[in-house]
Amino acid sequence: MTWFTVDTTYIDDADRLAEVRPLHRAYLGTLIETGQVLAAGPWADGTGGFVVLKVVDRAELDAILAVDPYTTEGIAAARTVREWTIALGPWATQ
């Protein structure tokens, strides 16, 4: 399994973001249940959000992001995806 972080920048439309957010959170909820999403939430300034995922590979991550309501509804203006090697903490691999 591979860890990824996804840093999303939202479009500048607070009303549209508020409209789509419940769909996005419900979608992430299903991924929390499968163990693929470990943490997620918006930045305090409301300009974007951050998600930590554990998936098989980048192809699986791309498939997950492709059907995220923030993608399909045009909320994600930009995303920075990084593969993450966790060295310390409860999620670190030995």
Q: Please state, in angstroms and rounded to a whole number, the distance separating the CA atoms of residues 55 and 50.
A: 16
| Residues 44-75: tens digit of each pLDDT | 999 999 999 999 999 999 999 999 999 999 99
Distances (CA, A) of 51 to 16, 37, 40, 55, 94: 20, 7, 4, 12, 23
Domain ranges of the chain: 2-84
Q: Enter the pTM of the model.
A: 0.93
Q: What is the pLDDT of residues 17-42, one digit of tens each?
A: 999 999 999 999 999 999 999 999 99
Q: Per the CATH hierarchy, to which homologous superfamily does domain 2-84 belong?
A: Dimeric alpha+beta barrel (3.30.70.1060)
